[in-house]
A and B are shown apart, each in its own frame.
Chain A
Amino acid sequence: MSNITEAGLATGYARAASRQPALVTGTDLLVIGAFVLVVLTMPWWLVLIAGYEALATKIVIWAIFALGFDILLGFTGYLSFGHAAFFGSAAYITGLSLKHLTSDIVPAMAISFAGLFVIALVIGVLTLRRSGIYFSILTLAFAEMAHALILSSTLQAWTGGDNGLTGLPTPTLLGSPMRGLTVFYFASAFLVAGFIAALVIRRSPFGLMLRAIKENPMRLEYTGVNVFAYKMSAFVISAMYAGIAGSLTVIYEPYVATEYIYWSTSGEVVIMSVIGGVGTLIGPILGAGFMLYFENVIQGFIGEQWKLVLGLIFVFMVIFLPGGFVDLARQIWRSLGHRIRARRYNVPDMAPEADEDRLRRRLDREEAEAR
């Protein structure tokens, strides 16, 4: 620490007037451009690999869900097992609006958005007081309650109970019915906007606070930051992504299945995130694509044992590639001889430091015994 000088300290804070960097760089534009290209051409290239057009729409919808899930899990480290509550509620609210109020998708989605905001706030306030496994269990409990509510005899007249919500009109957008590629492009617009928003959030002061929650919430609180308010914001943002995905599902298929609000839906988004790479944003999107492709295309090739194979893949990934597809890509990239920017901190004198710690602990212990 010999370089502490009066001069060094005196110049401190003087540079605070420097200009802020641009929000989006050239590299970002390349990444976003490539993303848009791959997404918008999906209905065609998916057919080349034995897929079908409508599957592209489904993948885009679940990609939005998984992307939003990553804003909560990947940034703050909070693992929700109840995101089906948001996906499902939004689907039901959108479906009910279409059925009883308007067949236009814009007001139906707006109503669903507002309703979901309130639902997310309430569930957030009740679950975010706890962290770790307790938070996960609480979110699961609330989602199960929501599921039970949907099926309850009181609400059955509205929700259709076990049968799900049926008899919905084909939603319209500015007067024309939404079908086929229109639905795909409508959903893709949300995915692209959601992806850009997530990239911007990640590098913003807000995003840094979210990542700090995952690293050390106690340090954050004792740095003067209202940790709860940030957690709450991440939770609501994540729920809104899930809600958009839920609404879009109703356009994709004018019907709401009870399974949308069931725990299996929560579980699926968790698996997508883990398989793709938690905290990488692009990973969960890839995970969603992989899962749906597997369920809808590969299934046809391997027959009824497909769930077993999928389970094995999941186990394999978690054991050997906990960083998911994104980590796999990084490792391949590295093995091809490319260098990945080293982030290791070189500590040549680690050993004496450790000795010092050990000595200190021994002295502390002796002192304690002497008392």
Chain B
Amino acid sequence: MTAMKTPILEVRGVSKSFGGLRALNDVNLTVQEGSIHAIIGPNGAGKSTLLNVLIGLIEADEGTITYAGERIRGLSPHTIIQKGIARVFQTPQIFPGLTLVENVAIAALAKRDGQFGLRILESLRPGHPVMAEAEEHLVDVGLAGHLRSEAQHLSRGDKRRLELALCLAARPRLLLLDEPTAGMSRHDTNSTIELLKHLSRKGMTKIVIEHDMHVVFSLSERITVLAQGTVIAEGAPQEVRGNPRVQEAYLGGAHT
């Protein structure tokens, strides 16, 4: 990745406190279009909070967030998402009582119709283009076998895949993944990595929060290290791996 690409996301001086706890402290982050950018750091470092601030789930106390050249801080969450961002949550967020196809179709419809549409004279039965598209996304993440069962009966790892399929159906420009492989077997983790790499080749930008260093180093082009709400290092995987502060704060001796 060359340094001259345009950033799709620029976070400048973002801070957020919960009562006395400073969860984010003057955070800066620049993400290049088309790259995979990892955010790592110990539990409670503020990684999930940073993603929450990006999509408007939590409002930052200070700082600016620029996405595709536009200030997005303060906009409503669905407005921000409609600009082309999708988020996989740390605890899978799906629609438990709906079928897998319906789960994914919702995102495809949100992409097609925007934030609201009184679409009544249309029947979402099998064969509807949106349902067909949803099925294809489910095949992509390996859930082809259970298209019409309810999502609540899925295992935790499969719920994660379903949420990923849902996010892909929104065809985002920027995909935010909060520990996408947590709870998956090594085999499934590897195929998820393959899928994410493949999507990047198609130009989708990704921010990935990951605990698994194997995933981080095999996937990302840049890494930001957070500790206690502060960015303590930023750079290419090799630079970060060699950084003594990072070793001390997070990686310890075990991962090197």
| A pairs with B | yes
B183 close to A205 (CB less than 8 A): no
> Which residues of B161-181 are within 8 A (CB) of A?
161, 166, 170
**CB of A23 within 8 A of chain B?**
yes
Taking a contact as CB atoms under 8 Å apart, the answer to whether B94 and A216 are in contact is yes
Whether a CB of chain A sits under 8 angstroms from the CB of B26 is no
- The answer to whether A223 touches B166 (Cβ under 8 A) is yes
| B60 at interface by CB-CB < 8 Å | no
B128 at the interface (CB under 8 A from A): yes
Q: How far is the CA of A203 from the CA of B120 in the complex (A)?
A: 8
Given contacts A3-B139, A216-B96, A350-B155, contact A15 B170 (CB under 8 A): no
When distances are taken between beta carbons in the complex, the residues of chain B under 8 Å from A259 are: none
**Bound Cα distance A349, B154 (Å):** 11
Interface size on B, residues (CB 8 A): 76
Complex-state Cα separation, A21 to B129, whole angstroms: 9
Query: Does B255 interact with chain A (Cβ within 8 Å)?
Result: no
Least Cβ distance of B209 to chain A in Å?
14
Flag whether A353 is at the interface (Cβ < 8 A): yes
Give Cα A345 to B99, complex, Å: 10
Decide if B115 touches A229 in the complex (CB within 8 Å).
Answer: yes
Q: How far is the CA of A208 from the CA of B134 in the complex (A)?
A: 14
Alpha-carbon distance between A207 and B102 when the two chains are bound, in angstroms: 11
Given the known inter-chain contacts A3-B139, A18-B132, please indicate yes or no for A345 contacting B166, CB distance below 8 A: no
In the complex, whether B110 has a CB less than 8 A from a CB of chain A is: yes
Q: How many A residues touch B, CB cutoff 8 Å?
A: 62
Contacts of A17 in B (CB 8 A): 129
* Neighbour of B93 across the interface among A25, A216, A227, CB < 8 A: A216
Q: A20-B128, A223-B170, A226-B115 are in contact. Are A1 and B188 (CB under 8 A)?
A: yes
Contact yes or no, A223 B94, CB < 8 A: no
Contact, CB under 8 Å: A8 / B140 = yes
Taking the nearest CB of chain A, how far is it from the CB of B128, in angstroms?
6
Q: B121 contacts A204, CB within 8 Å? A: yes
How far does the alpha carbon of A11 sit from the alpha carbon of B136 in the complex, in Å? 9
- Which residues of chain A from 46 to 84 have any CB-CB distance to chain B below 8 Å in the complex? none
**For window 178-211 of chain A, which residues contact chain B by CB distance below 8 Å?**
200-201, 203-209, 211
| Interface residue? A156 (CB, 8 A) | no
Chain A residues engaging chain B, CB cutoff 8 angstroms = 1-4, 6, 8-9, 11-13, 15-25, 200-201, 203-209, 211-212, 214-216, 218-227, 229-230, 233, 343-345, 347, 349-350, 353, 356-357, 360, 364, 367-368, 371
- 19 contacting pairs across A/B (C-beta < 8 A): A1-B195, A3-B139, A8-B139, A9-B140, A15-B129, A15-B132, A16-B132, A21-B127, A205-B113, A205-B119, A205-B122, A208-B98, A209-B106, A219-B93, A226-B116, A229-B115, A233-B118, A344-B153, A368-B44
- Chain B interface residues (CB < 8 Å from chain A): 42-44, 55, 57, 76-78, 81-82, 86-87, 89, 93-99, 102, 105-107, 109-111, 113-130, 132-133, 136-137, 139-142, 144, 146, 148-150, 153-157, 161, 166, 170, 182-183, 185, 187-188, 191-192, 194-195, 198
